[in-house]
Structure 1
Amino acid sequence: MESETQPMGRRVAYWRQRRGMSQQVFADRIGKSKSWVDKIERGVRRLDKYSVITELAESLSIDAGQLLGREPRRRPGLGGCLDQVEVESIRQSLERYERLGRFLEAAPIDPTPIPELRGAVNYCWLAFEKGHYPVVARSLIQLLRETPLAEDRPLGGTAADAAEVMTQVYQIASTVLRKLGEAQLAWLAADRAISAANRGNDPLLAGIATTRVANALRSLGRYQAALDLNVQVAHGLISESGGETSSPAEISVYGALLLQGAMAAALAGDATTSADLLDSASRAANILGRDANYYYTSFGPTNVMLHRAAAFVELGEGGDALAVHDRIPPAALADLVAERRAHHYLDMSRACVQVGDIEQAARHMVTADRNAPAEIRCRPVAIELIDQILHRAKGEPAPEMRRLAEEVGALN
């Protein structure tokens, strides 16, 4: 993220790169030479005319104040994270059909080799797990353009290999969009993920794609549909693989489906079904015997406990959620990926608000922000919770909480 203490040239470079422009493309857009842009970005040449600063900002689709180091008040849902330009770029990528380019008279684009795409997708997953959502977004914009072409003209692999890469791109897109509150776009990406998975040869990718569809349905308020989908696919997967003879990867995908089903049941107010699914997931985790990350599921005993606590939060049982949290071994929690840890502390902050412990809610929120800042600063649910904590706090909030509130624009 660009800093307010950086020289202006560095801020220009940051936003140019964030918009996916080379120095030459940016220079052409503003009617300057590439050498001029390079000197500005390196600080060799100063920007001292406000009219020029305004022109640069307009070309970068930002406010002039952002180049001057004066960050505008952030909007909930995008605070310190993706901006509307990037969300719109992802939207346009999802709405395009590059595989129909020969019919739509689109300019031909050379396909990217499948091994190169796999590497880019792995990088994108790792950025997601660290909660670096702006990095994920910039990667997605490019991958959503490149991966559909690879299936038509696969290089270094087969069309099925390309489809398997493609489903992962759509799955990452769906998950990030859902966190940003873009439920309809998340559903579109998840639906594309299912279609791509079915053209590949890996049934576990289709299983994981199911959780993305179900999660998008949850965001749209269709809890029962999400529950049914997760449970049906989970049962089909385990019956085909033979239960306890399944591989660790199969158990992980099966368990992830059960966990998402449990969350859907909790949102529907069905505590009994939620508990049953969590118990089944716990048995699967015990078979696995450890926390793992097959297919980027983070499935294992610890993640089951995190979901058990989260389910209690959705059921409005904050005290029970906090009791589960107290039983989670700190070392095991620390071993999970940053996104999972931050998500959990966000849930525990919600639990504290439910029981009226606002000071502890603030502490959990600050801890979540330390683990993965974008998980807090990008998500509407987190911004709204910060606002609740501020309004319900007695007296002035703690300095760290106040600083976090200021940075996400929650303070007037």
Structure 2
Amino acid sequence: MGNLGAKVRHYRQRGGRSQAVIAGLCGISDRYLSLIENGRAEPSLAVLTSLAAELGVPVGALLDGPQPGPEPVPTTVSAGVAQALMGHGRPRSEEAVTPAALRERVETAWRAWQQSSTRFTWAAAELPSLVADMEHAVRAHRRGSDETTRRETLRAAADLYGLLRSYCRRSGRLDLAILSADRAVRAAEDADDPIRMAAAQWNLAHVLLSQPDAAPEAAAVAETATIQLAELPEDSDQQALTGALHLVQGIAAAQQRRWWDAREHIDEALVVALRVGEGSNVQHTVFGPTNTALHRLSIEMLAGQAGEALRVADRTETTALPSRERQFTFTLDVARCYDLRRDDAAVLVHLLALEDLSAEDFRRSAPAIEMATALHLRVRPTYRPQVAALQTRLNLLP
């Protein structure tokens, strides 16, 4: 019985829905659903069937086999990137690339990563050589006598490792994402660059948010970085990173179901965002009023408040954001809200929009894949050919 309850909880949380939402849809009290999830009540066949239908799984998925673990992101990290991160790089005797050349390549890389619809293909082709050159330059200049060259190289390295954190996390290699985030922290510290140190902690916190039960650690990392930033002179960079760290703390609180704290952090971030304004992309955080609204939407979606989340979405325009990745995340969360409401036509519209934004991101998004799969199983026959065609185009069919 406990195993059944654990499965109900797993599939409910995987869909980002609260007990109150699922209980209401199934015609039972949230107290009764809590008892089921904790193994203290056994549902009737009718209730079990309703639960399975609302969770988007066969009844057998709740009855048979072991308790499921978290849905994995498909692993798609380029072998060349992994090898470069592990030290397969340039000979020590080879001359190091200059900091100016590295800086230009890193900025080009960030533009491609945030704006290209084929960024994973780009990353597989371009990142291995950039990582190898950066690793070689860091080794060559770490103990050199030219302090300016050393610091500029380390600053470029910190920025590149931040990109690698995002690439590895989105590609299903959390181990390499943690490695990249840690190297970003070390490079920023060695460069004695407080702004980049805060950005590196922001990156580390994002990796922790991707790990099961690591939200408290992510919140602690972000809170420490916020305190350290408060000691710096106030300028636009300091303010933008402070706001971005409040957004991290908001998501961390939401993952722990501390909704009041989560919304409070978003409110604090909004105060900062209104001062910073739109168009800021300090340390590639895309912080500003629009990104703050996107995080508010995510929190309401996680809380099961699909109606409020969609009201936020209706007031938010994302086309001007300098990050296609953030546009993808916004559209994904809107699709999940419609999925909570079982508005299948709207789910389909937004899944098609996700494909248009980036088919490569779609293939690497476990929530998007799950929605497409569940939609195909339950959707009305009118829409089923379109869902099947989407799955075929994205190679999602078994």
Normalised TM-score (structure 1): 0.72
Alignment of 1:323-402 (within 5 A): 323-328=311-316, 330=317, 333-336=318-321, 337-397=323-383, 401-402=387-388
**For residues 112 and 151 of structure 1, what CA distance do their matches in structure 2 show?**
10
Q: Tell whether the 8 Å contact from 1:114 to 1:161 is kept in structure 2 after alignment.
A: yes
Asked if residue 114 in structure 1 is aligned to residue 99 in structure 2, the reply is yes
Which residue identity is paired with 1:226?
Answer: A
Q: Tell whether the 8 Å contact from 1:350 to 1:361 is kept in structure 2 after alignment.
A: yes
Residues 107 and 294 of structure 1, relative CA distance in 2, 3 Å threshold: closer
In the alignment, which residue of structure 2 is the partner of 1:205? 196
In the alignment, which residue of structure 1 is the partner of 2:264? 276
Q: Deviations over 1:97-127 (max 9, x none)?
A: 86xx8xxxx5633211111111111111011
Shift of 1:308: 0.5
In the alignment, which residue of structure 1 is the partner of 2:215? 223
Q: List alignment gaps of at least 5 residues for structure 1.
A: 1-75
Shift of 1:239: 3.8
Q: Tell whether the 8 Å contact from 2:92 to 2:136 is kept in structure 1 after alignment.
A: no
Moved over 6 A (4+): none
Which residue identity is paired with 2:208?
Answer: L
Percent of aligned pairs sharing the same letter: 24
Equivalent of 2:240, from 243, 247, 252? 252
Residues 111 and 340 of structure 1, relative CA distance in 2, 3 Å threshold: same
In the alignment, which residue of structure 2 is the partner of 1:309? 297
Normalised TM-score (structure 2): 0.74
Residues 410 and 202 of structure 1, relative CA distance in 2, 3 Å threshold: same
Residues 119 and 349 of structure 1, relative CA distance in 2, 3 Å threshold: same
In the alignment, which residue of structure 2 is the partner of 1:299? 287
Q: Tell whether the 8 Å contact from 2:155 to 2:187 is kept in structure 1 after alignment.
A: yes
* 260-269 vs 377-386, which moves further: 377-386
SS at match of 1:220: coil
Shift of 1:304: 0.4
Shift of 1:258: 1.0
Asked if residue 150 in structure 1 is aligned to residue 137 in structure 2, the reply is yes
SS at match of 1:356: coil
Cα root mean square deviation, aligned: 2.3
Residues 187 and 341 of structure 1, relative CA distance in 2, 3 Å threshold: same
In the alignment, which residue of structure 1 is the partner of 2:175? 184
Shift of 1:314: 2.4
Equivalent of 1:128, from 100, 113, 129? 113
Q: Tell whether the 8 Å contact from 1:174 to 1:216 is kept in structure 2 after alignment.
A: yes
Asked if residue 236 in structure 1 is aligned to residue 228 in structure 2, the reply is yes
Q: List alignment gaps of at least 5 residues for structure 2.
A: 1-71
In the alignment, which residue of structure 1 is the partner of 2:33? none
Residues 153 and 409 of structure 1, relative CA distance in 2, 3 Å threshold: same
Q: Tell whether the 8 Å contact from 1:152 to 1:159 is kept in structure 2 after alignment.
A: no
Shift of 1:316: 2.8
**For residues 288 and 218 of structure 2, what CA distance do their matches in structure 1 show?**
22
Residues 290 and 133 of structure 1, relative CA distance in 2, 3 Å threshold: same
Shift of 1:93: 2.0
**For residues 146 and 290 of structure 1, what CA distance do their matches in structure 2 show?**
34
Which residue identity is paired with 2:391?
Answer: A
Tell me the number of residue pairs that the alignment of Structure 1 and Structure 2 aligns: 319
**For residues 367 and 399 of structure 1, what CA distance do their matches in structure 2 show?**
17
Which residue identity is paired with 2:130?
Answer: L
Asked if residue 403 in structure 1 is aligned to residue 357 in structure 2, the reply is no
Q: Deviations over 1:233-281 (max 9, x none)?
A: 113213433xxxx222221111111111111111121111111110000
SS at match of 1:290: coil
In the alignment, which residue of structure 2 is the partner of 1:12? none
**For residues 182 and 388 of structure 2, what CA distance do their matches in structure 1 show?**
40
